[in-house]
Amino acid sequence: MAETMRVIGDTLPGVDRNAPLLEVDSLRVEFQVRGERIPAVRGASFTLEQGRTLAIVGESGSGKSVTSQAIMGILDTPPGHITGGRVLLHGVDILEQDEETRRTVRGNHIAIVFQDALSALNPLWSVGFQIGELFRVHRGASRREAKRRAIELLDLVGIPDAKNRIGHYPHQFSGGMRQRVMIAMALALEPEVLIADEPTTALDVTVQAQIMRLLKRIQAERHMGLILITHDLGVVADVADDVAVMYAGEVVERADIYDTFKRPAHPYTKALLRAIPRVDAVGGELEVIRGLPPNPAALPSGCPFHPRCFAAEDVCADEVPPWIEPAEGHGSRCHFAEEVYTDER
Amino acid sequence: MGRYVIRRLLQALLTLGIVLFLLHYLMALSVQVRGNPALLFFGGDRTPDPAMLAQVERLYGLDNPCYERTGDPCLAPFVDRLQNFVRGDLGTTLNGNRDVAELLSIYIPNTLRLFAFSVITLVAVSMVLGTWAARHRGRFIDHTVRGTTILADSIPVFLILLTYVYIVAVPLTRWARDIWGTESFMGQVFRPSYNPDYPWTTIIVPGIIVGTVGLATMTRLIRAAQLENLGSDFVRTAKAKGLKPLRITVVHVIRNSMIPIITGIGFLFAFMLSGAVLTEGVMGIPGMGRMIFQAVQRQEGNLVIVGLTVSAFVVVVVSLVVDLLYAALDPRIRYE
């Protein structure tokens, strides 16, 4: 597809091709609720390299989806406000660009696949129209050209009989096929970064595997950066290269996939891994993390995880833990990161 | 779809047939109970020559003996009437012997004008207010809009009309005439009554007043529809696709908000019909509402039947159009 080759500098001036694909640096997001500012993301930092998959893992309310919406620039404002940090795409801070440029970035460079494709697609327009819309708006394509490209995309994501399906409406597709349509739409303009926000949560297990394989295949073909937001550690183990664990609006641990699973350096990650049900441990009690995720309006003092932590000491309630790197490229926000990493705690 | 339309049209035909029969039966009862309307032909209070009376009765189809028997549905005259209607003969009035079809050609355009202005008012005002309230949900503007529209809706339409005609219209007209002159648009628009020389201008204000019927309902429908769509996932998707706000509103919000709006217009139509009777009466507009009202007073049975059948026909057609618009707007709605 030579005619679609393009240079990122055309639409986003000042890019540095040597800089990391996407770098999120101490991103902060607050929500204005009844005059009160409630922090939803409190300094999320991570880096995504081209061709890699970064999994963002965390409980509901840990700020994973808000982070992705802030990166996309589709946060509902009000009540949400980005109050700090940088989002660098090839070294350019997209948070500082004007609205026109940001709109070009959306779809063109960063695209997102949402969780529930049935509600994320407009029920009154055919899938062909909704995919073709991207070519028409961003590329000035004709109706006919847009339709041709939409058919190609449906073929690409494995929807049989794409020629006829193009005129169908979202409600005429099954859950898995609808998610494929969502993916086709996100892939339309060949973005460098694809964010998949719990792409398989609404699907049944066999379809989940198909969708993940599809995402993985296309990512490899196009050498895209993929951010996978999920709470399913099984999926993470399957597809991710790097993992960022979020708790109470901040990234508490960041490492490659091997280290995360073998030698977690944060008690929260450790507890999450222990909570995975195992087929070879029949009869034993399933481990859980006691307590509930904290209320973002009233976070515990010190380390926000300390009330639920098995390794907590007095210092955890008083002091915010620093970012410690027990190994090269493996960081954790815990006072006892070294001990947890070496399994002394 | 085609079969659905045909089925609906056949249903409509049946509905109209039932309406016609009920009207005919009521009319027959009124003749049987209230007395011979043919007397009206002679002015009502004089006693005419029996031979002439018999001739008039024959002329209007009132000579059938069934009109003497209280409770008789008078099927034979009903069949005659249907045959006449099918041939395109709508009959004549007893007072003045005027052709009913000709009367309709005068009255229907006036009522259509009234409806045009009131539908425009209703849709325009409620669209603006509903959108405005949706953008400011939960704030002062939202509450003010709700309060005002409910107030406007709960005042009976005749009260608004009387207030306008007896208190507002005359000083306003005098003021406008002093500035712009009697023959200008402004000099005519505030008149308290209809002027046949200005059939459009003098119907604007009554149209606006009829349009306030159902304003609150409509505003809240639009507000709710817009709120639902503005916060929906597919609008978020549209933003993520990098579409401009205007395109999002036009392509992804307005079309999705149309269904409740069309439903609203569909059922407010019936309310507006009754509002039209009052408005045409008070403002002196020679329209269908006033025609039917006067026909009832004067025992013009045929005119009552024709007028009410026309309005039944309009309601049937409007509801069919509403249903077809649903399917045109929403692919999830299919009629088989």
Instruction: Give the Cα separation of A205 and A200 in Å (integer).
Output: 8
Q: What is the CA radius of gyration of chain B?
A: 25
* 3-class DSSP assignment, residue A178: helix
pLDDT at residue A3, as a whole number = 38
B141 touches chain A (CB under 8 A): no
- What integer pLDDT is reported at residue B22 of this predicted model? 92
Across the interface, do A120 and B233 touch by the CB < 8 Å criterion?
yes
Phi, psi (degrees; rounded to nearest 5) at B82: -60, -45
pLDDT digit string (tens) for B304-314? Answer: 888 888 888 88
Out of A105, A121, A169, closest to residue B237 by CB: A121
Residues of chain B positioned with their CB less than 8 A from the CB of A108: 242
CA distance B245 to chain A (A): 10
Do B306 and B104 touch, CB atoms closer than 8 A?
yes
Q: Is B98 on the interface with A (CB under 8 A)?
A: no
Pick A285 or A135 by higher pLDDT.
Answer: A135
Q: Where do runs of H (alpha helix) occur along chain B?
A: 2-34, 50-59, 75-87, 100-135, 140-154, 157-163, 169-180, 185-189, 204-211, 215-230, 233-240, 245-247, 255-283, 288-297, 301-329
Cα separation, A52 vs B191, whole angstroms:
76
Q: Which residue of B has its CA nearest to A110?
A: B240
Kindly list the residues from chain A whose CB atom is less than 8 angstroms away from the CB atom of residue B242.
103-108, 134, 137-138
Query: Which residues on A lie below 8 Å from B245 (Cβ)?
Result: none
* pLDDT score at A5: 43
Q: Does B69 touch chain A (CB under 8 A)?
A: no
Rg (chain A; Cα; Å): 21
Contact B331 A171 (CB under 8 A): yes
Contacting B residues, span 255-314, partner chain A, CB-CB under 8 Å:
255-256
Q: A336 — phi, psi (to 5°)?
A: -115, 35
Q: Give every CB contact of residue B89 below 8 A, 6+ residues apart in sequence.
A: none
Q: What is the pLDDT of residue A4?
A: 41
For residue B330, the chain A residues in CB contact (below 8 A) are: 123-124
Please report the pLDDT score of residue A1 as a whole number: 37
Task: From B301, B276, B282, B135, select the one nearest B211 (Cα to Cα).
Answer: B276
* DSSP classification of residue A322: P
Q: Which residues of B touch A137 (CB under 8 A)?
A: 241-244, 247
Range picked from A315-324, B237-246, B259-268 for highest mean pLDDT = B237-246
Average pLDDT for B92-97: 78
Which residues lie below 8 Å from residue B161, measured CB to CB, with a gap of 6+?
B206, B209, B278, B279, B282, B283
- Of the CA atoms within 13 Å of residue A162, those in its CB half-sphere come to 18
The answer to whether B40 and B299 have CB atoms below 8 angstroms apart is yes
pLDDT in tens, B231-246: 888 988 988 888 888 8
pLDDT digits 0-9 by tens, B279-288: 888 888 888 8
Say which DSSP state A285 is in: P
B137 interfacial to chain A (CB closer than 8 Å) = no
Reported CATH class of domain B100-299: mainly alpha
Answer for the pair B266, B319: CB distance below 8 angstroms, yes or no.
Answer: yes
- Reference B278, options B188, B191, B209; nearest CA is B209
Q: How close is the nearest chain A Cα to the Cα of B17, in Å?
A: 37
Mean pLDDT, to the nearest integer, of B118-140?
87
- How big is the CA angle at A259 (ends A227 and A210), to the nearest 5 degrees? 40
Interface residues on A facing B, Cβ-Cβ cutoff 8 A: 72, 74, 76, 103-108, 111-112, 114, 116, 119-126, 133-134, 137-138, 169, 171, 185
- Quick check: A2 pLDDT over 60? no
Q: What is the mean pLDDT of chain B?
A: 85
Evaluate whether B190 touches B169 at the Cβ level (below 8 Å).
yes
C-alpha distances out from residue B95 to B17, B60, B297, B301, Å: 27, 12, 12, 11
CB-nearest to A137 from B231, B232, B243 is B243
Q: What are phi and psi of A22, to 5 degrees?
A: -140, 125
Q: Is A55 helix (H, G, I), strand (E, B) or coil?
A: strand
Query: With 0-12 CB in 10 A as exposed, 13-18 as middle and 19+ as buried, what is B127?
Result: middle
**C-alpha–C-alpha distance, residues A57 and A239, integer Å:** 13
Q: Which amino acid is at A303?
A: C
DSSP state of B252: I
Domain limits, chain B? 2-87, 100-299
Whole-angstrom distance, CA of residue B171 vs CA of residue A294: 68
Asked if the bond preceding B73 is cis, omega within 30° of 0, the reply is no
The reported pLDDT for the residue numbered A282 is: 67
Alpha-carbon A233 to chain mean position? 14
Residue A18 C-alpha from the chain's centroid: 23
User: Which residues in B7-39 are b (16+ Cβ under 10 Å) and which e?
Assistant: ebeeebeeeeeebbeebbbebbbebbeeebbbb
DSSP state letter for B251 = I
For residues A190 and A222, the answer to whether their CB atoms sit within 8 Å is yes
Three-state DSSP class for A301?
A: coil
> Which chain B residue shows the shortest CA-CA distance from A124?
B330
If pLDDT is split at 50, 70 and 90, which confidence band does B43 have? low
* Nearest chain B residue (CA) to A136: B243
Q: Which long-range CB contacts under 8 A does A216-224 form with residues at least 24 apart?
A: A216/A53, A218/A156, A218/A157, A218/A183, A218/A187, A219/A51, A219/A53, A219/A194, A220/A51, A222/A187, A222/A190, A223/A50, A223/A51, A224/A50, A224/A51, A224/A191, A224/A192, A224/A193, A224/A194
Q: Is the pLDDT of residue A9 over 70?
A: no
For residue A44, the surrounding DSSP H or E stretch is: strand A36-48
Which residues from chain A sit within 8 angstroms of residue B243, using beta carbons?
103, 133, 137
Considering Cα of B296, then B300, then B301, then B306, what sign does the dihedral take? negative
Which of B234, B251, B330 is facing A121, going by the closest CB pair? Answer: B234
Q: What percent of chain B clears pLDDT 70, i.e. is strictly above it? A: 98
Does B51 contact A at CB distance below 8 Å? no
Residue type present at position A292: L
Nearest chain B Cα to A113, which residue? B237
Q: Spell out which residues of chain A touch residue B252, defining contact as CB-CB under 8 Å.
A: 122
pLDDT tens string A159-211? 888 888 888 999 998 888 888 898 889 888 888 889 988 888 777 888 888 88
3-state secondary structure of B276: helix
Tens of pLDDT, residue by residue over A128-143, are 999 999 888 888 888 8
Q: How many CB pairs under 8 A join A and B?
A: 69
- Closest-CA distance, A104 to chain B, in angstroms, reads 6
What is the rounded distance in angstroms from the CA atom of residue B299 to the CA atom of residue B278? 19
Q: What's the number of CA atoms in the CB half-sphere (13 Å) around residue B15? A: 18
Work out the pLDDT band at A62, boundaries 50, 70, 90.
confident
B247 vs A contacts (CB less than 8 Å): 137
User: Which residue carries 């009052």 as its tokens?
Assistant: B278
SS3 for B24-65, per residue?
A: HHHHHHHHHHHCCHHHHHHCCCCCCCHHHHHHHHHHCCCCCH
Nearest CA in chain B to A186: B241
Residue of B nearest to A115 (CA): B233
